[in-house]
Amino acid sequence: MARRWHRLPYPSTHSLGLGASVAAEPWTLFLDSCGRGGLRGRFDILLHHPRWRVWQEGEHVYLAEGDGTAQISAEPLIPTLRAIAREEQQRTSDLGGFPTPYPFAGGFAGFLSYDWGRRMLGIPGPDDPTLPTAALAWYDSALMVDHVSREAGFWGRSQDLPDWLEKPPASPPAPHFPDRGSAWRPRWSAAAYRRAFADVKAYLRAGDVYQLNLAQAFSGRWSASPWQLYSALRQRNPAPFAAFFSLPEASLLSLSPERLVSLRDGRLQARPIKGTRRRDPDPERDRALAAELCASPKDRAENVMIVDLLRNDLGRVAELGSVRVPELCALESFPAVHHLVSSIEARLRRDCDPWDVLLSCLPGGSVTGAPKRHAVELLQALEGQPRGFYCGSLGYVDARGRMDWNILIRSLSYRAGRVQYWGGGGIVMDSEVEAEYRESLDKVAFIAATLDGVEDLVAPATAGAERRAAEIAR
């Protein structure tokens, strides 16, 4: 039976209630714009019941049709995905009636970890044992919400629609706060961070790299469901590239503000973030922090370095002469932090497809350093453990060849009550250790505050995170 478009009423819960009804089902994926509106906060996409599941563990790629038994693929991940996509596009080639503005006409969606990208650079090393290095699924159907037109719809077979709507949309669950005081812990002490920072500065002085994005890992606990944790984090820090992905092994929760790369009608766009200041509840101090960020030579230089790196990444798959930078070091403000964001655009070459773009861009330059390959090699030794999902990418490639992928920053994995997340930042010659350490805490303060049960937002949450880190360092 052919798929068609079914118009639905705009949800009163801004999609959260729709996601809550299926969040516990494995392979449910909620791509969440947090209802911010505008070009990067317009659509939410809810996906579940995939037709194909594909994931990689170590050197092996597994695939399973529907709920069937997994088999090992004879091909690497990307050729496997391409082969399934060709088969599915032939099976469901008719897209008549699909409304043009909506982003996902069926296709692959999921995540590619940082360690998967490291492997694609030819750099060996251990993988995170708690999650696959990549997990994607082909979804025939999608429920989508448009926050600009305040409409919604379902793309799929009419006979499947009751399965999506038979559970009444639930109200977002109330945030669950555990006992205060010991819910999160950094892997490094402040002294350990300073030692790693000193090593980075030595590499910079020697000319080995121009920038390194050093990150530290945090662990925590959460006694309620991962969806409740996602709802609580989303309330604190709504972001345009947020997502919730339920996997058999664990759940991924992302409140990412950063786009890795998008592709629409042959047009590529990357939007790297480099440069951060915390928000302040006092409007005058907050404006001063934003102005300081915009005027900072160090932060602007850090951003421009990554823009150059991404111009090169996109240039490998772009039409000659089409790469341009329409936006450089623009200020974007989020509930917890101010950022400097740039935009790089290009036209995709005719002989390249979306998977070529991802192979060229991963891991994202804004979360590695420059030059990229050597930066990844150095970070592997400096950080002392695999990043796993962190600084990988989550998104989709649909049946028309459109795609949109985030960078998995401000993101967590949840497994049996345990939470893991990371915070970091780019280090250049002008960087100061105390400022960089504070920035690594500022970026994840909303996570630490949620796990600790702190109900204050923005600066109080950040201050609480810093106090806890200082206590641990002592």
443 labelled catalytic? no
Q: Which residues contact 208 (CB under 8 A, 6 or more apart)?
A: 374, 378
Please report which confidence band the pLDDT of residue 367 belongs to, taking 50, 70 and 90 as the band edges: very high
Q: What is the pLDDT of residues 204-239, one digit of tens each?
A: 999 999 999 999 999 999 989 999 999 999 999 999
Per-residue pLDDT, 174: 47
The two beta strands, 4-8 and 134-139, are unpaired
100: exposed, middle or buried (Cβ count in 10 Å: 0-12, 13-18, 19+):
exposed
Catalytic residue, from 88, 249, 258, 434: name it: 258
Looking at the DSSP bridge assignments, the partners of residue 88 are none
Q: What is the pLDDT of residues 370-410, one digit of tens each?
A: 999 999 999 999 999 999 999 999 999 999 999 999 999 99
For 6-41, give one letter per residue: b (16+ CB within 10 A) or e: bebeebeebbbbbbbbbbeeebbbbbbbbbeeeebb
What span, in angstroms and rounded, lies between the C-alpha atoms of 420 and 215? Answer: 13
Q: What is the pLDDT of residues 137-163, one digit of tens each?
A: 999 999 999 999 999 999 998 888 877
Q: Are 402 and 100 in contact (CB under 8 A)?
A: no
Q: Are 406 and 254 in contact (CB under 8 A)?
A: yes
Q: Give the residue from 469, 449, 450, 470 showing the smallest Cα distance to 460.
A: 449
Q: Give the residue from 282, 234, 290 showing the smallest Cα distance to 412.
A: 234
Catalytic residue, from 65, 151, 274, 432: name it: 274
Bin 180: left if φ > 0, else alpha if -120 < ψ < 50, else beta. beta
Task: Evaluate if residue 179 carries a pLDDT over 50.
Answer: no
274 labelled catalytic? yes
